[in-house]
Amino acid sequence: MEAIVLRATEAVADHHPVSSISAQIAAGGSLSYARFLAWRRMVEVEPPNRPAPARPSSSAASRRRDWKYGFTGSRDRSSEMVHLPPARVSEKGGAADDMDPAPMAHTTGTVASYTVDRLAYSPSPPTVFAVVDFDGGGRVPLELTDVDADEVHVGMRVVPTFRRLYTADDIHNYFWKARPLRDGASGGVPPGDSL
């Protein structure tokens, strides 16, 4: 038998959860019955005419676990430039191995550009990709979630959220997406099966 004991410290007082379930439901948009059935695998939806995604690699995920699970980039000590994904060599100045971790999971960002892709594989088509500029530095392309493709615009405020990307060979692959910022909520949704 195994047991895990967790103890909360005063540091949890600084953590503000994204929102309660009732607040998420109240802020959410409508969902078609067909999409609900597809997400619950109650109906089989024809996949796009594209190659199926490859199954996730656990060894690759383990090598970059701070990036994959914590959305932690790197910040150059001399130039303060944030690198997403983390880098060993700074883009400014070329300093090597002179970086500090830059946690970004609770950082708000702004959509700098975006595209709507109706051909790429997605459990919730169409796929909306955006280049996100984060407050305090850092730029990365992320898939948007919890958004209507017609409502996306340059300048939209977003926060990172940990979501399922796809399932291959019955193995779920998770990574960070971005969702619209609503009512001052912060990012960093814990892993789950939501899309």
Asked, for residue 132, whether it belongs to a domain, the answer is: yes
- The CA-to-CA distance between both ends of the chain, in Å, stands at 34
Sign of CA dihedral 30, 174, 193, 3: negative
- 139 CA to centre of own chain: 13
Summarize pLDDT for 74-118 with one digit per residue, the tens.
999 988 999 999 999 988 878 888 899 999 999 999 999 999 998
In a domain? residue 4 = no
Task: Decide: 130 and 85 in contact? Cβ < 8 Å.
Answer: no
Q: Residue 38: which CATH number? A: 2.40.50.840
Classify residue 23: in a domain, yes or no.
Answer: yes
Asked if residue 93 lies in contact with residue 81, where contact means CB atoms within 8 angstroms, the answer is no
Residue 98 located in a structural domain: no
Give the predicted TM-score (pTM) of the model. 0.70
**Tally of domains within the chain:** 1
- What type of residue sits at position 21? I
- Is it the case that residue 190 has pLDDT exceeding 70? no
Q: Flag whether 84 is in a domain.
A: no
Least confident of 26-30, 41-45, 118-122, 153-157: 26-30
Domain extent at residue 141: 19-63+104-180
Q: Report the alpha-carbon distance of residue 112 to residue 97 in Å, rounded.
A: 29
Per the domain annotation, does 59 fall within a domain? yes
Tokens of 40: 């619950």
Proportion of the chain above pLDDT 90, given as a percent: 37
**Which has more confidence, 25 or 139?**
139
Q: Which residue has the higher pLDDT, 29 or 109?
A: 109
When computed from its CA atoms, the radius of gyration of the chain, rounded to whole angstroms, is 18
Q: Is residue 97 part of a domain?
A: no
Q: Please report the pLDDT score of residue 25 as a whole number.
A: 65
- Taking alpha carbons only, the member of 154, 157, 159 closest to residue 115 is 154
Establish if 92 belongs to a structural domain: no
